[in-house]
Structures are given as structure tokens and as C-alpha cells.
Structure 1
Amino acid sequence: MGTAGLESIAALIRRAWFGLTPHEAVAVHEVLARATDAEVLADPSLIYGRIIGHYLAVRADLGGDQHGPLMASAGLVEYCLNAVTTSHDIDEVIGYGTILIVGTRIRGDLAEADRLGELVQRRVREVQDRAARLPDQDEVLRPGQLEMQRGLTLTLMGDLGAAMRCYDQAWSSRGESPYRHFAGANAAANAAMLAAFEGHYELAETWLARVGEYRDRVLWSSHLTYLGEYLARALLAADRLDPEAASAACRDAGDGSQAVELWPFVAAAGCAVDLAFADPFRAYERLRSAAFAHGHELAHSTAAGGLLQRAYLDCLIAMGDGARVLQLVGQGDPPPRTLVPIVRVHLLSGSNEVAARVAIRAVR
């Protein structure tokens, strides 16, 4: 493969990244399909180019399905780990490091993805120290990308406070649109989502105003970038008892059965919307369908800090099956997020003293 051709493709990816057009993606795919694996692996921009180019040229009809690109990252974990520990270029460390984090996460090892995120962050600081200069976001190719991915890992682990710190860092170091803002916009959208799920509606509105600065909702990467925004809007609309706005936001977010990393939040938000408008059986079926699509067991789910189990218990209560709730959480140490529905069951059954004890524990 000619060096000049690969250099031009790498330059295009560095410039456009998530703003790559379908026409450009076809050209990228055709060029990189002729390149050797060694040539592509030598530059993280070319790795992104091969993944994105193949996705848009071959799999674009899959819509919001992100499974293919994510699985491609999973196959590169060992190579990228070595590249992160040996490279002395800050953009290479961040580029390979991001693929490393995403690939490990999609393998299902969130704790290891978090550990590797810390490793990549240390390597970035080492490279900066070796260059004897302070971080300069104007010289970083993808500002905020590493912090955003670390935040997403923590989000899926259920450590929402730490995730918010990462999202805030990603937003603070965001680049300018139309091409360098994606990580910052993604972080703002996810921060709005977490604030809404935790009931901090004014904070969610603040983050929504920030992400509202960007208007690029028609790019191929829009669902990937702004999914958190759609979920936040769905939850806020449900709180306002605005069924039209809630339904529209849920349509933008998609079905919880889609192959997206935030699927537990998609499923839980859809469930919350249905419960807000007194449709518990639809909420229950929506939640079960999403869990089935991902091979996930709801009754004792620990996903995202018990988010799905809480939604499941809320559905059972709404359908009048409080006994099943107490049966599910009667053994072991239930996640703090599930203590609220437990209190509700005790209140509904007239066990006020028990409800008070559980409520005190929940506050603590």
C-alpha cells in the first residue's frame, strides 16, 4: 500500500473523525481494505478509519447498532496495551488507550477497563512530563476523549459520582466544533442523563443547555454522541407529565434491545416513562424484552449499580406484586438503589415501623 495514500487517509480521519461523511467513509474503506494489518495498526487514526469506514460502508443500515465497531476494538486489546506502554506520542497514547478501554469494556470486564483507564491517564502524564510542558488542549487531537471513556466505564459500573467528575473534566477540555467537540458533547449528554436518573433535574437542565450548543444531530455518530441527552429529556418530560415529549425522546433514544453500551439506561428510562403514565404492564414487558435481548437476568441484576433491578422492582410494585419484591430482596444485602421500592412495599402493607428502619438505612 502506498505511504502517501495511507497518510492522506490518516489526515482525513484526524480531521473529521466522528464527522466523517458516508461518501468519505466509502473511500476510506476501499483504501484501508487494501492495506496490510501491520500498516493499519501502526497508526491509531488508521485503526479508527478501518473500523468507522467498514461500519459506514458495509453496516450503515444497522442504525443505532454499535456492536460491530465495539467488537472490533475488543480484538485489539493486547496490541493496544503494548502500544500504550511504549509510545511517547500523546495522541498515540490517547488513541490506542481509548481503543484499549473500549475493547476491554466490551469484553465485559469493567473493573479491568477502569484500571486500564488509570494506566492510560498515567501514561499521558508521563508523556507530558517527558516533553517538559503543561497539557495544551489545542495540541491534543481528541480533547476530552480519554476522560469521556473513563466516565462511561464508571457509569456502567454504577459509580456515578466518579463518572460525573470524568464527564466534567471531558467537558472542560472539549474542543471546538465541527470536528473536535464530540467527546465533550458526549460527556455533557451523559452527565445530563446521570443527573436526571438521580433526580437532580435542575442540574440535568444545566447539562442539557450545554449539550444544546451543538446542532449536529444528523451525523452517523449522533446516536452514539447524544444518546444520554435523549434519555435525560425522556426522564424530565416524564417528571413534567408530558407524554408527547417523553415519547419523542424515547423514540430518539431507541429500544433498549439495541446493541449499545448504555442499554441498561435506555431500558430503565423507557420503563420510567411507562410507569409515569400508568402503564406498568408495558413497562414490565419493555424491561423484560431488553434484558432478554442482552441475555441479562433482571431479578438480581447489579448492572449500573442496581439500576435495572430497581426498575424491575418498581414494575412489580406498580402491578401489585409487592410480595415478589420482598421475596427477591429478602436475602443478602440489597443495593442501596433498591431500598426505595422496599420502603414503598412496607408502607403499602402497613408496616410503617419496618419502612422507617429501611428508609433510615437508605438515607445513610
Structure 2
Amino acid sequence: MPELVRSDIDVTDPSAVRAVLATGDIVDIVEMVDLMWYRLPGDYSVELLAALRRFSEDELLSRPRLAVAGMYAHQICFGESDATMQALLEKLVVLGSQYRAVLATTEDLYEVIASGAAAIIIPRLRGRLSESKEVGDFVASRIERMSSSGALGWGNESSRYRPGSVDVQRGLTATLMGDFRTAVRLYTRAYAQAGPPPFEHFAGANAASNLAMLAAIQGQHRLAAEWIKKSTSTADVPQPIEYLIGVGRLIATAMVAIDLLDQAAATKALQLVGAASTGIELWPFVASTHAAFHLAFGTPHRGLVLLEEAAFAHGHDLWSSTIADGILRRAHLDLLIAVGEGHRVVSALKDVPVPLRLRVPLATAYLSAGRYSRALRIAADGLRRMTLSGRDAADLRVISAVAQVALGRTDAARSSYQMLVESGVFDHRVDLIARLPQQDGERLIEALGIQSSSHVRLRFASAPVTLVELTGKESEVLSALARGHTPMQIAANTNTSLNTVRTHVKGIYRKLGASSRAEALAIAASQELITSCV
């Protein structure tokens, strides 16, 4: 049975709210959580925590929306790393299946919406994204069946329904899973469902903020600007909650500034965003934006250290990362190329299907190594994909133009470049040419007669890359040499003539620029062509 609630609590009166928190029972406080949403932990975090201490752990954990409100209040007062909050979160995770059982049987729409949003959040906070999605889909279907229209409007105390809250949480789960199209659809719906301040606008503000972030990350600058404006115009968010709701907008602002090479504006925005090593759920986007900053402004070594620090703080493997459509892995590979370790990028992506998001760093690695034909093939293949983001498409067109110039195909290069000019991308991406290797950037500018303008800033940040590519037989012989085998042993073990093995060894030495076995093995190890040597 749904809990009976009072109808005489004036949640717009701070003294009335504090009075209920000081003396009210748990039903009164659940009532205020339902009505006030983020404003209760945001404006009354100290008082809310004091009130919750009057109740047993079982009473709190049996009301997930109250427990989550307490978690937000605790985070505001003590930080996300506080041991008490971590213990509460662990218990919420354990009880998640019980919450889902309640959602399946209750006929209380308030409970389905408020506790449903909490049930979506809880597994996500522990990285269980598939579980979070399943819960979100279930909650959405329950809401659709229980509500007359399948979508909840606002007005007449509808803040209890937290308009847009379920969709914005489902959108965040889709965002972290890398399903950006679904995320955009859910955020857009959440924004449309949201109502006016002081209690019904939180999901709309959050949705607009995250839409701005996704648009900026994908290179949709006009849309990013529109959603930044909409997010900023949504007023009356409690200051302690403002960061939680608006960090997506800050990330978008930073990315827009980075693309314009506006270091001052980017620095200011990233100072507000904060470090990616904190407990914020959007930390992969925070980390990738910091990486983009250090790439654009010539400090990739620092960017690599910070990215690895963030990954370590979250127990995350950068090499195999797929979170948020591989955004962290992409940032990692971009930074490796910038510090001259593009051979590690090629090694990591060799002989495996290359995700669409990683076509740019792979093509860039070959471009930086002077392998223009290979870079052009990768760029051309990527540009044929219909799902390519605007950002990646612009990057691949520049790579294509550079490679075509180097291969003597000036007319084709001019066509690629002209498509970028006509699209207006240089109005927002003044970094495109600036990040090229110096020789390639200068050659492109000279060959195409590009005039000095706001979109050509000759920073030329990318470092040259040395790539060594061996044939299959050469790789086999090199691995045997690393295991301590002599050419004669290799010939016997592979049923190959000694002269053939010696020919392979000479080819290996030539490609590595080595004059001895020891030198060849040392260079091969540094190029990650072998995993160990003796």
C-alpha cells in the first residue's frame, strides 16, 4: 500500500521545511523528497542528514528515493569518497533487486517514478550498465501502462511525478553505454517533459546540459551552442546541485573553446569541470576533454599522465575501454600519437576490427609516419560509413587532403579541402590544420594556396612517428630470435632453408635500422613488435 502523505506541507517556506525535517516522521520527509526533488538535498543537506539519522537503516533502505536523496546530501556535505556514503551505496546495490520487485507490483505511480529513477541509478553507479538499462526499460514500460498518455506533463503538484526524471536517467545510462542516438532521444523527451521552477525543471536542465555535451563531443557545434543556451537559461537550481546537473554544459563549453584554440576560455571551463579522477558519473567525458585540451595546446605528456591517473582512480583499462563508445580509448591513442608513440597505436589495432571512432587515430599514426597511401585508405573507408560523427568526418577529410597532396593528387586534395570550407567547419574547428605534423601542414597550405586566416594557426602539434612493419615470416623469425634461437635452429624448427632465414634476418635488421641481434631486439621491443627478449 502507498504511504499516506500530508497535504499541508508548504515546501516553498524554508522555515516550514526545516520544521518538518526537525520533527516530522519518515512519511513527512518522503513527502518532501517527492515534492522538492533535488532542492531538498541541495538546499537542506545538513538538516536532511540530521533527520535521516533518526531512522533505522532498514527504514531508509526500504525507501530508495529517500536513500538516494540522503546519498546526494551526504555527498554535498562530505564528498563522494566518504566511507559512510560508500557503505550506503554498497547496501543500495545489494538491495537493488528488491527495489525492482517492488516496482513490479506497486500501483503507486509516485513510487514507480521516484523509486524507478533511483533503481536505474544504483546499478549504474557500480558500472552495471546493462542492468541499469534493463531496469530503465522496465520502469518506462510500467509508467506507460499506469499513466493515461504514456507521458507525464506538469502542473497541479506534478513535481511528485518528477517530470523527465526517468528519461534523463535512462539517457545517462545510454550515454555511458555509447548509444548516443538513444541518449539524444531520451534527453530530448526529458527536456520536453520538464516543467517550471522551483521543483519541476531539474530533469530539463540536466537533459539540456547533457545534450550540449554530446553535440560538442560529436562535432555538432551549432546544436551544442543551442543546448548550452537552453541549459544556461534554466534558472533556479540549488548551488550544491548545480554542478551535478550542469557539468555536461561545462564539458561542452570547454570542447567548443578547445576547437577554437581559445586556451583561456577552455582553461576556465575545465577548472569548473574539475578533475576526472573524482566520482562523477560523466568522468569518461571529463577525462577525454582534458585530453583534448592537452592535445590542442601542446602538453600531450601531461595529458597522458592525467588520463592514466583518471583511469587508475576508476579501476579502468584504457587499452580495452569501450565505455561511452570508446571515448577514453580514443583519447589514449590520440595522446600516444602526439608524444611520438604512434607505433603503439598501430600495434594495438593490428589484425583486429577497428571501431569507427578509432579510424582517426589509426589514420593519423600512419600519416605521422609518412605512410600516406595507408592513411588515405583508412580515411576513405571511414568516410564511407554513414554513422561517422561530424567531428571524425572533418578529421578524416583533413587527413585525406594531406595524404593526397603528399601522393601528388593535388586536385583530389583540393576537393577534400573545399568540402570542409563549404561545410563551414572551419568556423568552429580552427584546430584541424593546427594539429597536423609540421611538414604535412606546411605542404598542404602551400599546395592548395590556403591563405592565412583565422582557421589556419600554425601550431603543428603532432610528433613524427616511426613505424616498422614486418612481413608475417619476418615477425615469426623475430619472435624466435627473441626466444634465443639461432638462425640454424629457426631453419630446423620451421622447415625452412638457412639462407631463407638469413634473408629474413637481414630484412629485419634493415627495417629496424639495426646492425646486431641485440640492437634489433631492443628496437623491436621499443616498437612493441615483441613482448619480451632474452
**TM-score relative to the length of structure 1:** 0.90
Distance in 1 separating the partners of 2:34 and 2:290: 36
Q: Which one-letter code corresponds to 2:284 in the other structure?
A: P
- CA deviation after TM superposition for structure 1 residue 23, in Å: 6.9
Structure 1 residue aligned with 2:95: 76
Q: Which one-letter code corresponds to 2:245 in the other structure?
A: T
Once the two structures are superposed, the pairs formed by residues 197-236 of structure 1 within 5 Å of their partners are 197-216=217-236, 219-236=239-256
> Which digits, 9 at most, give the CA deviation of each residue in 1:297-320, with x for residues without a partner?
112221211101111111111112
Structure 2 residue aligned with 1:119: 138
Distance in 1 separating the partners of 2:174 and 2:346: 29
Q: Which one-letter code corresponds to 1:275 in the other structure?
A: L
Structure 1 residue aligned with 2:326: 306
Distance in 2 separating the partners of 1:204 and 1:69: 36
Contact 2:212 2:252 in 1 (8 A): yes
Structure 2 residue aligned with 1:262: 282
Structure 2 residue aligned with 1:194: 214
The answer as to 2:45 corresponding to 1:30 is no
Count of aligned pairs between the two proteins: 357
- CA deviation after TM superposition for structure 1 residue 48, in Å: 3.6
Q: Which one-letter code corresponds to 1:240 in the other structure?
A: L
Structure 1 residue aligned with 2:108: 89
Q: Which one-letter code corresponds to 1:110 in the other structure?
A: L
Structure 1 residue aligned with 2:342: 322
Contact 2:179 2:325 in 1 (8 A): yes
When residues 62 and 219 of structure 1 are mapped into structure 2, their CA distance, relative to the original with a 3 A threshold, is farther
Which deviates more from structure 2 when the two are superposed, residues 338-347 or residues 3-12?
A: 3-12
When residues 143 and 52 of structure 1 are mapped into structure 2, their CA distance, relative to the original with a 3 A threshold, is same
Distance in 1 separating the partners of 2:141 and 2:80: 39
- CA deviation after TM superposition for structure 1 residue 153, in Å: 0.6
Return the structure number with greater relative CO, CA threshold 8 A, min gap 6. 1
Contact 1:305 1:335 in 2 (8 A): no
The answer as to 2:373 corresponding to 1:337 is no
Structure 2 unmatched runs, 5+: 1-21, 386-534
- CA deviation after TM superposition for structure 1 residue 74, in Å: 2.2
- CA deviation after TM superposition for structure 1 residue 96, in Å: 1.5
When residues 98 and 218 of structure 1 are mapped into structure 2, their CA distance, relative to the original with a 3 A threshold, is closer
CA RMSD of aligned residues (A): 2.5
Q: Which has the larger radius of gyration?
A: 2
Once the two structures are superposed, the pairs formed by residues 339-354 of structure 1 within 5 Å of their partners are 339-354=359-374
Aligned pair partner of 2:37 in 10, 17, 24: 17
Distance in 2 separating the partners of 1:111 and 1:22: 29
Contact 2:197 2:235 in 1 (8 A): no
Structure showing the higher helix proportion among its residues: 1
When residues 155 and 74 of structure 1 are mapped into structure 2, their CA distance, relative to the original with a 3 A threshold, is same
Q: Which one-letter code corresponds to 1:115 in the other structure?
A: E
When residues 75 and 285 of structure 1 are mapped into structure 2, their CA distance, relative to the original with a 3 A threshold, is same
Structure 2 residue aligned with 1:163: 183
Contact 2:45 2:76 in 1 (8 A): yes
When residues 174 and 314 of structure 1 are mapped into structure 2, their CA distance, relative to the original with a 3 A threshold, is same
Distance in 2 separating the partners of 1:56 and 1:348: 46
- CA deviation after TM superposition for structure 1 residue 100, in Å: 1.3
Aligned pair partner of 1:282 in 292, 295, 302: 302
Contact 1:193 1:204 in 2 (8 A): yes
Contact 1:339 1:362 in 2 (8 A): yes
Distance in 2 separating the partners of 1:283 and 1:71: 32
Distance in 2 separating the partners of 1:119 and 1:46: 21
3-state SS, counterpart of residue 249 of structure 1: helix
Contact 1:73 1:99 in 2 (8 A): no
Which deviates more from structure 2 when the two are superposed, residues 26-35 or residues 290-299?
A: 26-35
> Which digits, 9 at most, give the CA deviation of each residue in 1:322-361, with x for residues without a partner?
2111011113212211111111122222323222221233
Distance in 1 separating the partners of 2:236 and 2:54: 32
Structure 2 residue aligned with 1:184: 204
Distance in 2 separating the partners of 1:277 and 1:27: 45
The answer as to 2:157 corresponding to 1:137 is no
Structure 2 residue aligned with 1:248: 268
Contact 1:256 1:267 in 2 (8 A): yes
Q: Give the ranges of 4+ consecutive aligned residues of structure 1 lying more than 6 Å apart after TM superposition.
A: 66-69
When residues 353 and 23 of structure 1 are mapped into structure 2, their CA distance, relative to the original with a 3 A threshold, is closer
3-state SS, counterpart of residue 180 of structure 1: coil
Distance in 2 separating the partners of 1:154 and 1:21: 26
When residues 134 and 291 of structure 1 are mapped into structure 2, their CA distance, relative to the original with a 3 A threshold, is closer
- CA deviation after TM superposition for structure 1 residue 156, in Å: 0.5
Q: Which one-letter code corresponds to 1:102 in the other structure?
A: I
Distance in 2 separating the partners of 1:271 and 1:320: 16
- CA deviation after TM superposition for structure 1 residue 102, in Å: 1.0
3-state SS, counterpart of residue 108 of structure 1: coil
When residues 264 and 56 of structure 1 are mapped into structure 2, their CA distance, relative to the original with a 3 A threshold, is closer
Distance in 1 separating the partners of 2:150 and 2:330: 44
3-state SS, counterpart of residue 239 of structure 2: coil
Structure 1 residue aligned with 2:317: 297
Q: Which one-letter code corresponds to 1:111 in the other structure?
A: S
3-state SS, counterpart of residue 278 of structure 1: coil
When residues 205 and 68 of structure 1 are mapped into structure 2, their CA distance, relative to the original with a 3 A threshold, is farther
The answer as to 2:120 corresponding to 1:101 is yes
> Which digits, 9 at most, give the CA deviation of each residue in 1:217-266, with x for residues without a partner?
66211221111011000000111111111011101111010011111110
Distance in 2 separating the partners of 1:165 and 1:329: 32
Identical residues among aligned pairs (%): 36
- CA deviation after TM superposition for structure 1 residue 188, in Å: 0.8
3-state SS, counterpart of residue 240 of structure 2: coil
Contact 1:284 1:315 in 2 (8 A): yes
When residues 52 and 323 of structure 1 are mapped into structure 2, their CA distance, relative to the original with a 3 A threshold, is closer
Structure 1 unmatched runs, 5+: none
Q: Which one-letter code corresponds to 1:88 in the other structure?
A: E
